[in-house]
Amino acid sequence: MQIHVVSQGDSLFSIAGTYGTTVNALINANELDAPGQLVVGQALVIPIVGQFYFVQPGDSLYTIAQRFGISYQELARINNIPVNGSLNVGLRLYIPPGPKPEIIANAYVEPIGGTVSQAIENAARKNTPYLSYLAPFSYQVNRDGSLQAPPLNNFKAIADANNANLMMVITTLEEGAFSAELGHIVVTVQEVQNRLLDNIVNTAKEVGFTDVHFDFEFLPPEDRDAYSTFLTKAKERLSQEGILMSTALAPKVSATQEGAWYEAHDYGAHGSVADFVVLMTYEWGYSGGPAMAVSPIDQVRRVVDYALTEMPPSKILLGQNLYGYDWTLPYVEGGEYARAVSPQQAIALARQYNVPIQYDTTAQAPYFNYWDEEGKEHEVWFEDARSIQAKFDMIKELGLRGISYWKLGLAFPQNWLLLQDNFTITKAD
């Protein structure tokens, strides 16, 4: 795949000609609903095998080859140019595809209002071919250790049809929010734990879950060790049944990081006990906060760097959002919440209000501002092909186990094409 950022004057016809593809291929790959109205700054994926590189000032055949992990002799041969010849700025070179590392890809899917909408089920059908795990969110623990199941509808059949596994997500949600009191009961009361683990094992075997995923958030800080001990107990029980265990971790940058979300999550203990972990590396920009990138790569990198001091990269799934937010300015604490938007919706907004899409190179994230019909200014941050490719590059650089998406249902076609282009996805045996 190739990423092309739309410039003033670009058309699908001219872009297709540049890369030797067709207009229809561009429309289909990017699911363009208004192909005649491209937005300046919009990132398109070009559906070609390998990619093209246009020579820049100061480039040499050697530096270009080094950048793409190929020998300069092979690069010259492929492009039918002399090994020692000069390169003209703007010359188009073809770069063949390189080896693809194998990773795990997970995605949570959340029924809304206790039901699985047709749109959510369609998203699961469309995207599960790219996944190792489909994770219905969530089985909620009751205070007696029983479980409240989410609607599963056709998720098992969808997973089976696409050679994917089902992940059983266990949460301490109570009345729509994570409950510190409920979490404390679960990790400290042996009778509740025993009943809970019995129910988890029975349900996992009945439905066909191959991994049990604990997402206990906002636990009391003093329950840090108790939570780790509970996970050790759960892992021993699940291993007896041939079931994997994973956990979700708040995005910490140090072992001593303070805050209700962070303190009870012991990275070292989770990394030691769990088969793998999901780092929840998103929500720096969140609906109730000021406008900023949801998962700025500089902040994400800090979390991953810390995690790597506590566990091997082979245990880490990078958490990744499939959404952005539209904030109304000025931001007022406790005021109007931002509206969640898909990447496709964000591009449509930029097109509607005729504003170019900007790109923050520090956060590696696209954004734009617009004024609505009521004279209010908005700021939108979202994900695009460039921002997700930056995360993929980091996964490859650091040798991480894979990626975990929150959550299916928001259209981001470029992500799935680039995921397939960058990696070989582990599927069920």
Cα–Cα distance measured from residue 86 to residue 394, given in angstroms and rounded to the nearest whole number: 32
> Catalytic one among 121, 217, 263, 379?
217
The amino acid at 122: N
End-to-end CA distance of the chain: 28
Q: Sign of the C-alpha dihedral, residues 234, 235, 236, 241?
A: positive
CB-based contact 266:223 (threshold 8 Å): no
- In 3D space, the residue among 133, 30, 115 whose CA is nearest the CA of residue 124 turns out to be 133
Please confirm, yes or no, whether 336 is among the known catalytic residues.
no
What separation in angstroms does the CA of 222 have from each of 9, 136, 346?
Answer: 60, 30, 42
What separation in angstroms does the CA of 172 have from each of 147, 175, 179, 341?
Answer: 10, 10, 6, 27
Q: Which residues contact 129 (CB under 8 A, 6 or more apart)?
A: 162
User: 69 phi and psi, to 5 degrees?
Assistant: 70, 40
CB-based contact 29:413 (threshold 8 Å): yes
Counted residue by residue, the chain has a size of 429
- What are 235's two structure tokens? 């892992």
- What are 246's two structure tokens? 């994973």
Name the strand (E) or helix (H) holding 13.
Answer: helix 12-19
3-state helix, strand, coil in the chain (%, to 5): 35, 25, 40
* Catalytic annotation, residues: 217
